[in-house]
Chains A and B, each alone.
Chain A
């Protein structure tokens, strides 16, 4: 039987996939986007008040991956047996149209330019020996100046709210003074600041730091983006992370791209289509298409294409490459191969300050992307020389709206009793009068932290699960401890009545049972050397030139910023070069 043929297949209907599908249909290609989850329409299931049901939403995982069909196995050390991640906790991959881009919070950063060439910068400033043994520190192979137009484009599509520092070299606002220069203003002004954020702003400034409004893909006003789609303004209801936004004010592929994309007759979206593998020709140099399982009919379907875009969630991208035989799997013993190499995460710890009973922080109020941050201890913005570690953390009050069940699960914190009247009083005190400050930091890549195929466990379709080997390392623990130490004077300047500092402990092992962040990265990293990277600077596979792998899987190491802004910019960057170069002359865009 002949397989159907289209110009391009896009795997995954999240941000990366939706951006690529939009760009490729604009270029005149017929595009089929395959999504293994359900159709998700914010105007239907995300409508008010249906969407803001915490039990059904964040607690019972309405928008998250169904682990009963496929999951990952996890272990801390290479000598351990990995076990399946059967209950969502540490990280929350999405499923269904919009992917994790539907249930994200909305913090929408660009990148710290120094992070794009972190190895070069660390070596230049501190010498090669500064890099700890076993750390695979690498450059992205692309500069901020090259990416800037695509950050700008992504912000305009997302309807991002923020305050600039400089535009075209001139000071244009009271934004982040460590942020790189911009070609244009944010499309919307910064979000309003809740009480806790404004307290943090003044206290941080009093201590001598440089507070700024978090750039948020939560619309601060009504907005129409370049695709003509419309957003309502955020009302700080707090149902961002884990939810579809009934105000249409949190950017998502569903609200910001797909309404326009769906009008294009060259675009086809197929849901309940679980891609089993990318099919390659005999010498594994060209992809011929994909095989997917139609989850409705349980039948395998072959679909041919000239171009295959792997743009699922970070670790699904790596999994699909390993299952398809694209590139050489990483071998930590021999230190050969690239697929699965440089798997990274993010460090995040939360500190809490309690204020006087007259000061109401009302933790139920908030917006997922809004808040006030400092970058004084992020990236290369401070002297690492005497500190002896690589990396850094932004520090912020990002009051995203703590829902009642989540607040109860989190407990009152501090030294409160665990039951009875004292517990209840402390819960109320914490919910009304406390605030939290996060250190949301980088995580470097290491030789013995990686992704490969699990030898024991398989998914519902008989394919081996992806195995994560991950643990915290001394460099990142010390970085976190150092930055958290800088939070203490801010809390004191706020006039807190009491506080607790959250930080990684010496020798702490990664615990999968507690939510940390969904900001997983690496495993199919970009770079300039095919021996140490999976894809070139255009996110094109070194090995199979008609395959592009788009997403946080391309990050060589975990950065302090949230990844979505960078993912979107890389997606537009790759799409631009596919449109302007690759399609005219298909083949490798960088010679290996």
Chain B
């Protein structure tokens, strides 16, 4: 998996190499705890980074390519040598919530311990029992990290941790802050185990999240920097580029199936849903949705999107004279329609789609260049694919059609130049059909 500079990539961790005693577990009803822990692992999206196809579940080995070398996600199975079997519960808790390895070294903060610091003692306990007793040990080492000395020295990470990661006590205090009725559970899931802010919140110079919860202000979940070439949108009540206009059911359906009447997941969000949110209960998804809907706009000056029929009227009258209109009719309209409304959920609408109205056109351009695949989910087994057009359309044609899409139907976003498209070609992900979860339908 290739990560850009300002990404999850900067981080990563949990390498457990030292020996120790396996279990301090009392004889207790472990099966219920294992089930709870499995659920917490899903809510925390652990397998998105720690499970790689072809290796065992949670056996790690996912590559994070950084400019200074590659690091690999660790084996978090209970294998005592290659995994975390030697961790005590206190050591496990310290790794997950504080980013400190059993040997005292700091984890790379690709591991979202600043968010996990918010996880309750009960959830951490269940998670520990699950990883010790509910996960098969895999005696398989991950490749050694390829960062050369002296950059491999983890001391700066400890400084980073001390400065930017909250203590568990502080995090728990924030979790227990005063919140309106009915959103406490949702706030916990989104800000804590769900670590939504890892992607959807902006980061500072040291790649720290500028806000770790809504109590730190409206930067929280106001949209993040590109990951794998895709730009996470605002999850706040921002007009045009955020979730303004989405209903609670829209959000629930999206998190459960990766699709709804307003759009489809792509990029890293498909992993977050596939490995994570689709496994959550309806009650928890509704709680998350209610919490997200409570987040005030970060950019209150943005005006609401309103559908403008003029582009559709022109196309339907046979007028394709607008820049990019002909490319759109030839390559896009079959599925997304001349009125831009698509045929959700199979083909998402482009009219009023927050991804397209962002100031940063990277997501749109990259989806056109590389395509996108939405895998089948438990509650929506159908996979859908958007083809990759980088081998079919020139940068000028892509610029034209993207400009058309960003302008039409009331989207009114800025044009995109061929130079921008050409530049984005360099950071374009691999065509999606050729990697990741291959859809079978």
* Residues in chain A within 8 A of chain B (CB atoms): 39, 41-44, 47-50, 222, 227-233, 235, 237, 246-248, 254-255, 258-260, 262-263
Q: Is the CB of A258 within 8 A of B380?
A: no
**Is there contact, CB below 8 Å, between A248 and B440?**
no
Taking a contact as CB atoms under 8 Å apart, the answer to whether A263 and B384 are in contact is no
A259-B441, A263-B378 known; A43 and B384 CB under 8 Å?
yes
Q: Identify A48's interface contact among B373, B379, B387, B440, CB under 8 A.
A: B387
Q: Is the pair B345, A258 in contact by a Cβ cutoff of 8 Å? A: no
- Min CB gap A232→B, angstroms: 3
Question: Taking the complex as formed, is B334 at the interface, i.e. its CB lies under 8 A from any CB of chain A?
Answer: yes
Contact A43 B383 (CB under 8 A): yes
- A255, B382: Cβ atoms under 8 Å? yes
Cross-chain contact A232 with B439 (CB below 8 angstroms)? no
| Contact across chains for A232 and B346 when beta carbons are under 8 A apart | yes
How far, in Å, is B185 (CB) from chain A's closest CB?
Answer: 27
The 4 lowest CB-CB distance pairs between A and B, nearest first, are: A232-B346, A259-B381, A43-B439, A43-B385
B258 to chain A, nearest CB (A): 11
Those of B333-367 within 8 Å (CB) of chain A: 334-335, 343-347
Q: Kindly state the separation between the CA atoms of A255 and B381 in the bound complex, as whole angstroms.
A: 10
- B383–A259 CB distance below 8 A: yes
Q: Would A247 and B334 be within 8 Å (CB), given that A229-B381, A259-B382, A263-B376 are in contact?
A: yes
A48 and B334 contact, CB distance less than 8 A: yes
Pick 7 A–B contacts, CB within 8 A, sort by A: A43-B440, A228-B380, A228-B381, A228-B382, A229-B382, A230-B380, A258-B441
Instruction: Give min CB distance, A49 to chain B, whole Å.
Output: 7
Contact of B433 with A44 in the complex, beta carbons under 8 Å: yes
**A44 lies within 8 A of B343 (CB):** no
Decide if B343 touches A222 in the complex (CB within 8 Å).
Answer: yes
Report yes or no: B346 in contact with A230, Cβ–Cβ below 8 A: yes
Chain B residues contacting A262 (CB-CB under 8 Å) are: 376, 381, 440
* Any A CB within 8 A of the CB of B169: no
Beta-carbon nearest neighbor of B333 in chain A? A235
Which chain B residues (381-398) contact chain A, with CB distance < 8 Å? Answer: 381-387, 392
Given A260-B381, A263-B381, the answer on whether A232 and B441 have CB atoms closer than 8 Å is no
**Across the interface, which residues of B come within 8 angstroms of A258, CB to CB?**
440-441
Do the beta carbons of B441 and A228 come within 8 Å of each other?
no
Chain B residue contacts of A43, Cβ below 8 A: 373, 383-385, 433, 439-441
Q: Is A41 a contact of B440 with CB atoms below 8 Å?
A: yes
For B385, the chain A residues whose CB sits under 8 A away are 43-44, 47
Query: Closest chain B residue to A52 by CB distance?
Result: B334
How far is B337's CA from A235's CA once the two chains are assembled, in angstroms? 10
Q: Are A228's CB and B379's CB within 8 A?
A: yes
- Contact between B344 and A222, CB atoms less than 8 A apart: yes
With a cutoff of 8 Å between Cβ atoms, the chain A residues found around residue B386 in the complex are 47
A247: contacting residue among B335, B373, B383, B433, CB under 8 A:
B335
Extra A-B contacts (10), CB below 8 Å, given A235-B335, A254-B441: A41-B439, A41-B440, A43-B385, A43-B439, A47-B371, A49-B387, A230-B380, A235-B334, A246-B334, A258-B441
Residues in B with CB closer than 8 Å to A259 are: 376, 381-383, 440-441
Q: Are B441 and A42 in contact (CB-based, < 8 A)? A: yes
Nearest CB of B to A313, in Å: 21
Q: How far in angstroms is the closest Cβ of chain B from A35?
A: 13
A230: chain B residues at CB < 8 Å are: 259, 345-346, 380, 382, 384
Closest to B439 in A: A43
Instruction: List A contacts of B383 (CB < 8 A).
Output: 41, 43, 259
Interface size on B, as a range, is 20 to 34
| CA distance in complex: A349, B386 (Å) | 39
- Check A248–B334 contact: CB distance below 8 A: no
Residues of chain A lying within 8 A (CB to CB) of residue B387: 47-50
Measured in the bound complex, the distance between the Cα atoms of B433 and A235 in whole Å is 24
A231 vs B347: C-alpha distance in the bound complex, in angstroms?
10
| Interface presence of B331 (CB below 8 A) | yes
Q: How far is the CA of A247 from the CA of B439 in the complex (A)?
A: 15
**In the assembled complex, B141 has its CB within 8 A of some CB on chain A:** no
The minimal Cβ–Cβ distance linking A521 to chain B, given in whole angstroms, is 29
Q: Which residues of B contact A48 (CB under 8 A)?
A: 334-335, 387
B335 surroundings in chain A (CB, below 8 A): 48, 232, 235, 246-247
Q: How far is the CA of A248 from the CA of B334 in the complex (A)?
A: 12
Contact residues in B for A41 (Cβ distance below 8 Å): 383, 438-441
| B378 nearest CB neighbor, chain A only | A263
Residues on A with beta carbons closer than 8 Å to the beta carbon of B392: 49
Partner of A44, one of B344, B346, B439: B439
Which residues does chain A contribute within 8 Å of B346, judged by CB atoms?
222, 230-233, 247-248
A262 to B346, CA, bound (A): 19
CB-contacts of B235-276 with A (<8 A):
259
Q: Within the assembled complex, what's the spacing in Å between the Cα atoms of A260 and B377?
A: 9
Bound together, the chains give a CA A259 to CA B381 distance in angstroms of: 5
Give A307 Cβ to nearest chain B Cβ, in Å: 25
Looking at the complex, which one of B376, B378, B380, B384 makes contact with A248 (CB distance below 8 Å)?
B384
Bound complex: CA A255 to CA B385 (Å): 13
Q: State the CA gap A230–B347 with chains docked (Å).
A: 11
Contact with A229, one of B343, B347, B438, B441 (Cβ below 8 angstroms): B441
Q: Are B441 and A233 in contact, CB atoms less than 8 angstroms apart?
A: no
Q: How far is the CB of B274 from chain A (nearest CB, A)?
A: 12
A246 to B335, CA, bound (A): 9
Bound-state Cα–Cα, A193 to B384, Å: 28
- A250 smallest CB distance to B (angstroms): 13
Contacts of A222 in B (CB 8 A): 343-346
Q: How far is the CA of A42 from the CA of B334 in the complex (A)?
A: 16
Please give, as numbers and ranges, the residues of chain B lying within 8 Å of A255 by CB-CB distance: 382, 441
Whole-angstrom distance between the alpha carbons of A237 and B386 in the complex?
Answer: 17
Residues of A contacting B371 with CB < 8 Å?
A: 47
Question: What distance in Å separates the Cβ of A401 from its nearest Cβ neighbour in chain B?
Answer: 13
| Chain B residues, CB < 8 A from A232 | 335, 343, 346-347
Q: Which residue on chain A has the smallest CB distance to residue B337? A: A235
Look across to chain B and name the residue whose beta carbon is closest to the beta carbon of A237: B334
Q: A43, A222, A246 — which one has the most chain B CB atoms within 10 A of its CB? A: A43
Complex formed: what's the CA distance from A227 to B380 in Å?
9
Chain A residue with Cβ nearest B388: A47
Complex: A455 Cα to B120 Cα, angstroms: 76
The docked-state distance in angstroms from the alpha carbon of A44 to that of B386 is: 9
Smallest Cβ-Cβ distance to B330: which chain A residue: A49
Nearest chain A CB to B313 CB, angstrom units = 19
A259 to B440, CA, bound (A): 7
Which chain B positions have C-beta within 8 A of A246? 334-335
**Once bound together, how far apart are the Cα atoms of A246 and B441, in whole Å?**
11
Q: Please report the C-alpha to C-alpha distance between residue A231 and residue B439 in the assembled complex, in whole angstroms.
A: 15
* A247 / chain B contacts, CB cutoff of 8 Å: 334-335, 346
A43 to B432, CA, bound (A): 11
Tell me if A49 and B331 are in contact (CB < 8 A).
Answer: yes
Contact present for B382 and A248 (CB under 8 Å): yes
Q: Find chain A residues with CB under 8 A from B331 CB.
A: 49
Residue of B nearest to A45 (CB): B433
Complex CA distance for A222 and B343, rounded to whole angstroms:
7
Q: How far is the CA of A232 from the CA of B335 in the complex (A)?
A: 8
